[in-house]
Amino acid sequence: MNLPNWVRAFGRISLWVWAGLGLVFLFTPIFVTILFSFNEPTGKYNYIWNKFSLSGWTDPLKYPELTDALIFSLKIAVVVTAIATVLGTLMGLAMVKYKFRAKGMIGAILILPLTMPEIVLGFSLLTLFVSINWSRGFITIIIAQVMFSVSYVATTVRARIRGFDWRLEEAALDLGASPFRTFRKITLPLIAPGVVAAAMLTFALSLDDFIITYLNSGLDNTFPIQIWNMKRSKIPVQINVFSTALLVISVILAIAVVVGGNRRSRKLAGLTEVSGASLNS
Amino acid sequence: MTVAAVPSRVRRPRRERDGDDTGVSARRWFTPWLLIAPGGLWLLIFFILPLFSLGRLSLEDGGLSNYSTVISDNSTVIIRTFVYATISTVAAIVIGYPLAYVIATKGGKYKNFLLALVILPFFVTYLVRTLSWKILLFDGGPVVAILQSVGILNDNQSILGSPFAVVSALTYNFLPFMVLPIYVSLEKLDHRLLDAAADLYSSPARAFRKITLRLSLPGLFAGTLLTFIPAAGDFVNSELLGSDRTVMIGQIIEKNFGKEFFRPELSALSFMLMAMILIGVIVYARLLGTEEIA
């Protein structure tokens, strides 16, 4: 209250500077990832800047094991996103729209995987697979990733669709729409933005995950596992090339979805407002 | 009519029944269970059941003595793991809280853009991010060069392999998990409360402590969990940037999970890690005050 003005100004400026440094801290490694995709490493490891080169970009498929791993990762991400989005959305819908016994327990089971270290989740699942003699590979990776993704999807969808006016469904049914048509025309458009956000999150999480996947992958290699296996023999520039390409594609997709989503949600908001008004009258 | 369709054993409190406007489909009591069943079964079989399987395995052969063996064999590693996780969590608060505060309260029309910058690291896979951090700390890299020119490091000293390298990488990797929940809780903050505090002659510092900080506690709590838990279970950062001096619990599990004979003790170690984290979470929730969290 009675601090001199210059002290306050100083405080304000240092807050800005500190926050700016925080952003730099977060951003620098990403910049390094991009920058080092243009490096020409002197040895087998792309750790020290040597000179600018496009060699990684002109020959991205030089290491087939890396390319195969990336394709494998993308396949997994597609399957996991499809399964987890459906399962998680259904759970999120149930948690928002209905009251039922044991709801608190279901909610706790949904949150619990998010509060456990990945190594415990991955290792305990591995002990299950080992005890029933199930060999690890594509299927067990899918199982493991869907397991933790369902929680993320349900939590995201739940947060995004809370407080919606579900009487719109009732209105559609009363007006003679079939349950399927009601779902397609009312429920789906209402929950779509939340579901799309959850699906994108799942896809990113699937590509990103290392620890749980690694423990349950057997001899199959996802992109991160392949990098992990290479760490003692070589870290080629192609790793950075693929990562940069994925980054650019993700950013473009995210922007497209946000821009498209804004347009949609404006339309939907209008719909909800009009129908809400008529329902209330 | 909603009530009539519900079997009597599913009696719900009157308060809920009266306020029940969840729509026509609520007439069928089993509808929510149909929606929950697929995902719920998946979690039951592949999340809950494995935890029991892990617990059972941890007691095989030696029973509870597995735990005492594993604790006495790895006491240094266990303490080190929790020290590293604690330091990186505190560092993430020190860096992340002001960042979240500035974005939420002063971001203006750039709010979403700044938030996107915070999320951006997620678009580069975890291992590659960690490798980029390694490039930054590499001998002859920018950080070493700066620290050597300032005289903090000797000319032949390096950062890689040191606890600093591991803790800084842990902080970096999980920082967005700290920023985002704090941002969410600060964004909901009603600014009229701060105006009221100022009108009532509260100093800005006191208003911050009594209003801003207090109302952002749920975000701080969530952020702490989301940073501390993955940091305590991590093996990637200490494996890629550390040395023998920086071994963490996760590394011991990672190094041995393929060897059959070590399994019961390994299970005991992971079960213990989980239990210690759960206890930590409960104590922390108590310290912060559970009412604010809920």
Q: CB–CB of A227 and B271 under 8 A?
A: no
pLDDT of residue B17: 43
Q: In terms of Cα–Cα distance, which of A99, A106, A94 is closest to B13?
A: A99
Could you read off the pLDDT of A139-168 as tens digits, one per residue? 999 999 999 999 999 988 988 888 778 888
Listed residue (B248, B227, B279) closest to B80, CA to CA: B248
A/B interface, count of CB pairs below 8 Å:
262
Question: What are the φ and ψ backbone dihedral angles of B27, each rounded to 5 degrees?
Answer: -65, -30
Determine the distance in angstroms separating the CA of B45 from the nearest CA of chain A, rounded to an integer: 9
What is the rounded distance in angstroms from the CA atom of residue A84 to the CA atom of residue A76? 12
Contacts of A200 (CB under 8 A, 6+ apart): A253, A254, A257
| C-alpha–C-alpha distance, residues B180 and B119, integer Å | 8
Distance CA B219, CA A123 (A): 29
φ/ψ region of B162 (left if φ > 0, alpha if ψ in -120 to 50, else beta) reads beta
* Cα gap A73→A60, rounded to integer Å: 17
* Residue A45, phi then psi, degrees to nearest 5: -110, 130
A43 burial via Cβ count (<10 Å: 0-12, 13-18, 19+): exposed
β-sheet bridge partners, residue A52: A39
Q: Tell which B residues from 8 to 47 touch A, by Cβ distance under 8 Å.
A: 10, 12, 16, 20-26, 29, 31-33, 35-36, 38-40, 42-44, 46-47
Q: Cβ contact (<8 Å) for A99 and B122?
A: no
Report the pLDDT value the prediction gives residue B262, as an integer from 0 to 100.
59
In terms of Cβ atoms closer than 10 Å to its own Cβ (0-12, 13-18, 19+), residue A267 is exposed
Which among A220, A208, A210, A194 has a CA at the least distance from the CA of A250? A208
Q: Quick check: pTM over 0.90?
A: no
Amino acid, single-letter form, for residue A193: P
Does the CB of B271 have a partner CB in chain A at under 8 Å?
yes
Q: Which residues of A, range 38-77, sit inside 8 Å of B by Cβ?
A: 46-48
Contact A211, A119 (CB under 8 A): yes
Mean pLDDT by 10 residues, chain B (294 residues): 43 43 56 89 94 89 85 93 96 96 88 87 92 92 86 83 95 94 87 83 82 87 92 95 94 81 80 89 76 43
- Whether residue B131 and residue A227 make contact (CB cut-off 8 A), yes or no, is yes
Q: Which tokens sit at A233?
A: 């023999």
- Alpha carbons B135 and A212: distance in angstroms, whole number: 25
Confidence of residue A267 (pLDDT cuts 50, 70, 90): low
Contacts of B121 in chain A (CB under 8 A): 26-27, 29-30
3-state DSSP assignment of residue B114:
helix
In the predicted model, what is the mean pLDDT of chain A?
A: 88
Contact A38, A57 (CB under 8 A): yes
Q: How many Å lie between the alpha carbon of B290 and the closest alpha carbon of chain A?
A: 16
**List of chain B residues whose C-beta atoms are within 8 Å of the C-beta of residue A247:** 120, 123-124
**Contact check, Cβ <8 Å, B99/A116:** no
Amino acid A273: pLDDT: 60
Query: Measured between alpha carbons, how far is B45 from B54 in angstroms, rounded to an integer?
Result: 13
Cα A177 to Cα A168, A172, B250, distances in angstroms: 12, 6, 55
On whether any CB of chain A is under 8 Å from the CB of B223, the answer is no
B23–A166 CB contact, under 8 Å:
yes
Helix, coil or strand: residue A128: helix
Each residue of A161-179: pLDDT tens digit?
Answer: 887 788 888 888 889 888 8
Contact yes or no for A23 and B132 at CB 8 A: no
Mutation target vs A (from B2, B35, B236, B251; most A CBs, 10 A cutoff): B35
Interface test with B, best of A127, A135, A226, A234 (most B CBs within 10 A): A127
Chain B residues whose CB is inside 8 A of the A74 CB are none
Q: How far apart are the first and last CA of chain B?
A: 33
pLDDT at position A111: 85
DSSP A4: -
pLDDT at A38 (0 to 100): 96
Please choose, from the candidates A137, A83, A150, the residue with its C-alpha nearest in 3D space to the C-alpha of residue A110. Answer: A150
Mean pLDDT of A193-204: 89
For residue B201, count other CB atoms closer than 10 A to its CB: 8
A91 vs chain B: nearest CA distance in angstroms? 5
